């Protein structure tokens, strides 16, 4: 599914259940030592997907550890993102020569818990969500907005090394086109010094899941 919303330069792997043969490197095991069984399964299958995606790039299996703020630490010359939710895990990776950054997120296609939307959405976004819900009630647009903001952060952080709050990105969702536009409200530059004003993203609602992706080409 995830391959439908990322460009061809991005290699993807996904799983709808936790494969019994998935295993971690010792250094990865140390990251989840003492974690609850659910967290261990999520982490293990996410790393399993990461290795399958990296193999498509010709990258040999290796530990995928944590970097700053818990972001995956990819092999040299690779960018990527990992996501998981109930019943789904996925990884997306690309050569840094092809893609500057990519962020993916998966969520259940269910309404956000009460009170969460007020914490993550700007007033203008909430107004647009009301219009989307009235025009196309089959998708949980509040959850899609939340997922899009997660993908935005995952794409933002590797470029800037800075935190981005939910209210630092103003997102407009295109219901018909399966896309969204991101206006960044926090001024920043990427690691080459180029100013960042926004991102373009894609989304998919299918099989009870909502998937979002932000990918920035290298050229």
Q: What is the CATH number of the domain that holds 159?
A: 3.90.470
Residues 83 and 182 in one domain: no
Residues 172 and 110 in one domain: yes
Residues 42 and 117 in one domain: no
Asked whether the beta carbons of 31 and 66 are under 8 A apart, the reply is: yes
Residues 156 and 138 in one domain: yes
pLDDT tens per residue across span 84-139: 999 999 999 999 999 999 999 999 999 999 999 999 999 999 999 999 999 999 99
Asked whether the beta carbons of 33 and 40 are under 8 A apart, the reply is: no
The closest alpha carbon to 138, from 84, 86, 211, 210, belongs to: 210
pLDDT at 204: 98
For the chain, the domain total comes to 2
The whole domain housing 91 covers 2-96
pLDDT at 194: 65
Asked whether the beta carbons of 128 and 105 are under 8 A apart, the reply is: no
If pLDDT is split at 50, 70 and 90, which confidence band does 64 have?
very high
Residues 123 and 24 in one domain: no
Where does a domain end: 96, 130, 159?
96
Mean per-residue pLDDT of the chain: 94
Residues 135 and 68 in one domain: no
Q: CA dist 81 to 63, 66, 173, 185, Å?
A: 15, 12, 22, 23
pLDDT at 219: 77
Residues 125 and 211 in one domain: yes
pLDDT tens per residue across span 182-206: 999 877 666 666 668 899 999 999 9
What is the model's pTM? 0.94
């Amino acid at each position: 599914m995830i391959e439908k919303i990322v460009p061809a330069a991005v290699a993807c792997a996904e799983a709808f259940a936790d494969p019994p043969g998935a295993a971690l490197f010792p250094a990865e095991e140390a990251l989840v030592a003492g974690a609850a069984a659910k967290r261990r399964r999520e982490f293990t299958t996410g790393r399993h997907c990461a290795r399958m995606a990296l193999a498509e790039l010709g990258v040999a299996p290796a530990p995928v550890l944590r970097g700053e703020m818990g972001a995956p630490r990819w092999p040299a010359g690779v960018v990527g993102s990992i996501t998981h939710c109930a019943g789904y895990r996925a990884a997306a990776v690309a050569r840094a020569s092809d893609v500057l950054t990519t962020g993916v997120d998966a969520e259940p296609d269910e309404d956000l818990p009460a009170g969460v939307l007020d914490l993550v959405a700007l007033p203008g976004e909430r107004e647009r969500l009301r219009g989307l819900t009235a025009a196309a009630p089959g998708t949980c647009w509040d959850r899609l907005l939340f997922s899009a903001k997660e993908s935005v952060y995952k794409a933002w952080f590797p470029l800037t090394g800075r935190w981005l709050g939910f209210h630092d990105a103003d997102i407009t969702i295109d219901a018909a086109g399966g896309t969204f536009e991101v206006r960044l409200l926090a001024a920043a530059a990427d690691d080459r010094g180029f100013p960042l004003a926004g991102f373009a993203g894609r989304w998919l609602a299918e099989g009870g899941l909502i998937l979002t992706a932000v990918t920035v080409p290298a050229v």
